Chain A
Amino acid sequence: MFFSAFREAVSLILQMDPTLWGVVRLTLGVSGSALVLAAVFGVPVGAFLGLRDFRGVRWLTAVIYTGMGLPPVVVGLVVFLLLSRQGILGRLGWLFTPTAMILAQTILALPLVTGVTMTAVRSINPELRPQLQTLGATDWQILRTILHEARFGVVVGLVAGFGAAISEVGAVMIVGGNIEGKTRVLTTAIVLETRQGHFDVALALGIILLSLAFLTNALAVHFQGYLESGRG
Chain B
Amino acid sequence: MGEDKAIYTVRNLQQGYNGRIVLNVASLDILAGEILAIIGPSGAGKSTLLRLLAFLERPLSGQLTFYNQPVSDQWPDLAAKRRVTMVFQRPQLLRRSVHENVAYGLALRGQQASHEVNTILTALGLDHLTHVPAHTLSGGEAQRVALARALVLKPDVLLLDEPTANLDPYNVNQIEQFIQQVNQTQRTTVVIVTHTIFQARRLAHRTGLLLNGRLVELSPTNIFFERPLQPETAAFIRGDIVY
Instruction: Type the 1/0 row for A124-147, where 1 means its CB is closer than 8 Å to any CB of B.
Output: 010110110111111001000100
B153 at the interface (CB under 8 A from A): yes
A134 pairs with B85, CB closer than 8 A: yes
Task: Please tell me if the beta carbons of A135 and B108 are within 8 angstroms of each other in the complex.
Answer: yes
Question: Which residues in B have their C-beta under 8 angstroms from that of A149?
Answer: 94-95
- Encoded as 1 (CB less than 8 Å from any B CB) or 0, chain A from 104 to 127 comes to 000000000000000000000101
The yes or no answer to A230 lying at the interface (CB within 8 A) is: yes
Please determine whether B91 and A136 come into contact, CB atoms closer than 8 angstroms: no
Cα–Cα distance between A125 and B56 once the two chains are bound (Å): 17
Instruction: Report chain B residues within 8 Å CB of A133.
Output: 54, 56
Contact of B108 among A127, A130, A131, A137 (CB under 8 A): A137
Given A149-B94, A149-B95, A230-B96: A135 touches B150 (CB 8 Å cut-off)? yes
Contact among B88, B95, B100 with A131 in the assembled complex (CB-CB below 8 Å): B88
Which chain B residues border A130 with CB–CB below 8 Å? 51, 54, 56, 88
- Cβ of B214 within 8 Å of any chain A Cβ, yes or no, is no
Q: B88 touching A135 by the CB < 8 A rule?
A: no
**Interface residue from A134, A138, A141, A230 paired with B100 (Cβ < 8 Å):** A230
Binding site for A on B (CB under 8 A): 51, 54, 56, 78, 81-82, 84-86, 88, 90-92, 94-97, 100, 104-105, 108-109, 133, 146, 149-150, 153, 159
25 CB < 8 A contacts A-B = A125-B92, A127-B92, A130-B54, A131-B91, A131-B92, A131-B146, A133-B54, A133-B56, A134-B54, A134-B85, A134-B159, A135-B150, A135-B153, A136-B78, A136-B81, A136-B82, A136-B105, A136-B108, A138-B78, A141-B108, A145-B94, A145-B104, A149-B95, A230-B96, A230-B97
Q: Please provide the 6 A-B residue pairs with the shortest distance between their CB atoms, ordered closest to farther.
A: A134-B86, A136-B82, A135-B105, A128-B92, A131-B92, A134-B54
